[in-house]
Structure 1
Amino acid sequence: MSSGIMDSDVTILDVLRKQGMLTVAQLSDVLSVTGTAVRQRLRRLLTEGYIERTSVRPERGRPFHRYALTSKGRRRSGQNFADLAIALWDEIRLIEDVEVRQGLMQRISRRLADMYANQVQGQDIGERLDALTKLFADRRLPILVDHTGDLPVLSVEACPYPEIADYDRSVCSMEKMLFSEILGETVRLAECRLDGACNCTFEVTSSTVSDSQLPII
């Protein structure tokens, strides 16, 4: 744990990462704690530079503050080795040959899927989706799965790579590849946060991923 903050403070970072800018009252409702407890945590996070405060002056009523994550806060909240990830991604972007670049992204996705293979198992897609949800939740990256339609839809509530996605949306393609590799099913990006959607959503199709569908390197 970083010096100066506590586990309860990290919970606030996670809430702000998922829901964006919030007031003390809103945080109090979400966390089911008193406003005094929220303010104590916010003071620590402000001091450490994990959050920033914006003053709001409505036409009527008293002024109030809203709180949001800083870049440092986004890296701390569910993001491991963020600086390394950004540096590596920048190197990938420098590869001019599109086919080679896509092939490298696919191999990275396969490698990650191999690392997670023992944790994402199941007899059918439903069981594998449940395991995937738990895997990402353990990494403070919540995923919701909607089974109400003909095909399952994954809603990623917090981007795993927020600082990369802000300037290069192709990272969403690699996330799609990763989901396809882990689940053993074709997955397509249905909605993207960068296009104004609340979250990135991925639809699982009924076609199983085969080697013929993958880029040739």
Structure 2
Amino acid sequence: MVIADLVDAMGVTATAVRQRIDRMLEMGLVQRTKISGGRGRPSFAYMLSPAGHRQAGADPGQLAVAMWQAISELPDPESRKWLLQRIAQRVGAEYREQLADSSLANRMDSMSHLLAEKRILAEFSNDGSLPVLDVHACPYPDLTDEGERRDMCHLEQEMLSEALGQPMELSRCQLDGHSCCQFAPVPSQ
């Protein structure tokens, strides 16, 4: 759309449209293309960028639940295990790229902040023995199986191991009545 189209569609002034467009350009949500029209002032057409499409798109929650249910129903346990491990590795690798290459405690602290940015309440603590990461609410409550199989719990453990570059263990779980899920480095033997 061009500015005039946006003015008509939104019922606001051209100045208001331009101010909003400028903010969205800065945020990377909109792209603009120059329209050649001969002499005079150039005009531009605006469209959503790939980041804008992601933000404006539908909530993938319903799809995630359906995919998770289909994975959980795979009849071959080895195929299910392989697929969950691949998912954990991919998500963990995305987090790992955002973590500084520093001590495990620093990476765990940074991980708690990255999770918080995704609205997953997590807290890092280090009492001197082993550092721990407390996750105060299940990140995916609709996907958690409260029965015998704890696929989501295992996936989170594997994802954190991949992200932190250190084998992690789920030392406490809310499904067992604890106040939070606690992840700690696997003690070296």
Alignment of 1:94 with 2:57, yes or no, is no
| Identical-residue share of aligned pairs (%) | 37
- Asked whether the 8 Å contact 1:190–1:200 carries over to 2, the reply is yes
Q: Mapping of 1:20-35 within 5 angstroms?
A: none
Q: TM-score, normalised by structure 2?
A: 0.63
Q: Aligned to 1:128, which of 107, 110, 115?
A: 107
Distance change in 2, residues 1:102/1:183 (3 Å): same
Alignment of 1:178 with 2:159, yes or no, is yes
Runs of 4+ in 1 over 4 A off after TM superposition: none
Alignment of 1:164 with 2:143, yes or no, is yes
Q: What's the CA shift string for 1:3-27, capped at 9, x where partnerless? A: xxxxxxxxxxxxxxxxxxxxxxxxx
Letter in 1 for 2:138: C
Q: What's the CA shift string for 1:66-118, capped at 9, x where partnerless? A: xxxxxxxxxxxxxx632222111101111121122111111001111222232
Residue in structure 2 matched with residue 112 of structure 1 by the alignment: 91
Letter in 2 for 1:98: P
Residue in structure 2 matched with residue 9 of structure 1 by the alignment: none
- Asked whether the 8 Å contact 2:168–2:186 carries over to 1, the reply is yes
Residue in structure 1 matched with residue 180 of structure 2 by the alignment: 199
Report which of the two structures shows the higher radius of gyration computed on alpha carbons: 2
Residue in structure 2 matched with residue 143 of structure 1 by the alignment: 122
Residue in structure 2 matched with residue 211 of structure 1 by the alignment: none
Alignment of 1:154 with 2:133, yes or no, is yes
Query: For residues 113 and 171 of structure 2, what CA distance do their matches in structure 1 show?
Result: 22
Count of residues in Structure 1 that have an aligned counterpart in Structure 2: 128
Q: TM-score, normalised by structure 1?
A: 0.55
Letter in 2 for 1:128: R
Query: For residues 98 and 152 of structure 1, what CA distance do their matches in structure 2 show?
Result: 33
Please list every run of 5 or more consecutive structure 2 residues that lacks an aligned counterpart in the other structure: 1-58
Q: What's the CA shift string for 1:151-196, capped at 9, x where partnerless? A: 1111101211111115463210000000000001111111111111
- Counterpart secondary structure, 1:136: helix
- Asked whether the 8 Å contact 1:151–1:205 carries over to 2, the reply is no
Query: For residues 111 and 60 of structure 2, what CA distance do their matches in structure 1 show?
Result: 21
- Asked whether the 8 Å contact 1:157–1:200 carries over to 2, the reply is yes
Query: For residues 153 and 162 of structure 2, what CA distance do their matches in structure 1 show?
Result: 14
- Higher mean alpha-carbon deviation, 170-179 vs 90-99, is at 90-99
- Counterpart secondary structure, 1:119: coil
Letter in 1 for 2:170: L
Query: For residues 104 and 184 of structure 1, what CA distance do their matches in structure 2 show?
Result: 20
